[in-house]
Every structure is written in C-alpha cells, then in structure tokens.
Amino acid sequence: MELSSNQERVKCTVLKMYQQCYLQFLTSFFLHLEWFVTSLFFFQIYHSFHDEVDEYRQHWWRCDGPCQNRRPYYGYVKRAMNRAPSAQDPWWHEHQQTCGGTYTKVKEPENYKTKKAKAEGTPGKVSKAPKDKGTWSLWVNGWVWSKNVFGKM
C-alpha cells in the first residue's frame, strides 16, 4: 500500500514535530540536570555532634575572677542542666587555686523560672518518694501498678 503525496507530507511534518519536541525535551532535561549537578557544589550538608551539644547548653555561668580573661573558656561554664559549678567538678580545686573567683549565672532558657514555678504548683502531681531497691512501679493511664520484687503483689 503506497501513500499519497498528501499523506507523505503529513507523515513528514508529524515526524518533524515529534523530533522537535523530543529535542526540546532533551535540551530542557539536560539544562535541569546541569543545574542540579552544579548546584551540588554550592550546597554543603554539614552537621557536627559538637554543634548539637552546644545548642542544648543554655545554662551559663561566668567567673568574676581573673580567669575571665584566659583562654579557651574566658571564665564561662556552659551546661545543659541547671547545675552551678561546685566542688563536685574535677577542675574545681585547680580553679580555686589559680583564680579564686566565684561563678554567677548569666544566662538561662527563656521562661525557665515561670515554667518551673508552674510545674511545682500544678495539682495532682505525686511527689517522688524514695523507692526501695526491690520494688518497681508502672504508671498506666493514671493507675499505678507496683510490685515488691522480693514479695507478693
């Protein structure tokens, strides 16, 4: 079966249109691919465990002695918990001998005191009583399940 000249022209124009669309798609695709590959060099994914720990250190104390001018800490003690520097720290005795200053709190998280006051004043909270080593307690939906390991329930 042979095609007429009109059918041949239509076939050629359809093929040319298809080729043009395909070429446009390829050029667009490769332009996007090139942008993506080159942009990878400009974006850096960087995460350090030390940065994450520093983010949680929100309780700061500063010494008022001469160590506030010394490297590397310049008299600052930063902690994640609200515990002031004391004799329980391994470096405390050396600090007392070389500096002799006292620490005062200079920074804490926002609304730290108001949150603490609200938590202490809420009704229905059970105070923590010292537990025996042989007991355990499980809180489920407000019910307490407890058992003495060495005795009956």
Average pLDDT value for residue range 74-98: 94
Which whole number is the average pLDDT over 37-62? 78
How confident is the model at residue 152, as a pLDDT? 43
Q: Which two tokens stand for residue 151?
A: 């005795």
By mean pLDDT, which of 39-43, 73-77, 101-105, 113-117 is the weakest?
39-43
State pTM to two decimals. 0.48
Q: Is 145 helix (H, G, I), strand (E, B) or coil?
A: strand
The answer on pLDDT for 55 being more than 60 is: yes
For the chain, the average pLDDT equals: 77
Cβ 49 vs Cβ 95: under 8 Å: no
Amino acid at residue number 64: D
**What DSSP designation does 40 have?**
T
